[in-house]
Amino acid sequence: MDKEKMQRTKIHNWNKKIPLYMLCLSLVGFVSFYVIPFAVSFYYSVVDNPITKEYCGMGNYMELFQNPYFMKGLKNTGFFMAVSIPINIILSLCAALGLRGMKQHSGMFNLIFLIPLAIPSATAAFFWKNFFGLHGTLNKFLAVFHVPDVNWLDCKYSMLVMVLIFIWKNIGYDMTLFLSGLSNIPEQYYEYADVEGAGRWWKFKNITLIYLMPTTFVVIIMTVVNSFKIFKEIYIMTGEYPPDSLYVLQHYMNNMFLSLNYPKLASATYILTSVMVLFVACIFMAEKKISENLIS
């Protein structure tokens, strides 16, 4: 019995140590692949070049905001995010509400919205390039109405074309997240509101939006992250040297990498990462504050 008890104690102690070992393993991976590269990037961002490695303070950051290409990429990226993110979130929420209210064929429409996620980026980019190109399908259709040909990938509307492509590809993903959030709202809330004679707008504003708030914050974060992936489509469709209207931050960072200008690359990466971390922190703080107000 004593031997069996000792064996059980040994197994129990081992089971208590397993989470600690797993946590240490995760910590090693986090430090190796995130903390150390982040620290090395910061080091390169405050030296003049990777050879002499002379300390230059905030010089690289100041030069970035004086660089016309960086500012052009920053402006185009900001415009794309400011337009595409709100539109995509609103349309995906409307699609989720529409599918939730459908009694028939909701599964088929849900599948239709999710099809773009299954199409490889290269295939999708090839299709859109042939659709919006100078001799593409859209211009052939507009020629019927005697509209002159427009190179939609090299004009003042080019970024709006990318907004359309982004929404086409990501609306299904955000819609699925909203559908998951809507399914967690108890139907009893809507039934009580119906008994009290509440209208659709009141139920949407005071029930749906309120209890969908945690999901909305997740959708916002994921949409912001996915918005940076539009560079892949732009690169495939326009190559290494896109029109000025489609030049985004990733183009600048890619050029700095190819030219081995690591200080400028590290500075741009550090600024972009810091902004993203600050944005996510603000989102979580806002969600916590709203949740506390709802509980109180």
User: How many H helices and E strands in the chain?
Assistant: 15, 0
* Helix/strand/coil for 267: helix
pLDDT score recorded for residue 161: 93
Burial of 276 (0-12, 13-18, 19+ CB in 10 A): middle
pLDDT score recorded for residue 296: 54
- Nearest Cα neighbor of 175 from 81, 82, 91 is 91
Q: What angle do CA 210, 215, 221 make, to 5 degrees?
A: 125
pLDDT score recorded for residue 4: 66
How many angstroms separate the CA atoms of 255 and 243, rounded?
15
105: left (phi over 0), alpha (psi -120 to 50) or beta: left
CA dihedral sign, ordered 168, 225, 86, 70: negative
pLDDT score recorded for residue 170: 93
CA dihedral sign, ordered 249, 251, 257, 260: negative
Q: What is the CATH number of domain 62-295?
A: 1.10.3720.10
pLDDT score recorded for residue 295: 52
Neighbours of 170 (CB within 10 A): 24
10-residue mean pLDDT profile of the chain (296 residues): values are 65 73 85 83 78 77 85 91 94 90 76 86 90 89 89 89 94 92 87 84 86 89 90 88 88 80 76 79 77 61
- Nearest Cα neighbor of 190 from 106, 295, 93, 182 is 182
Domain boundaries, the chain: 1-45, 62-295
Tokens of 161: 């074309």
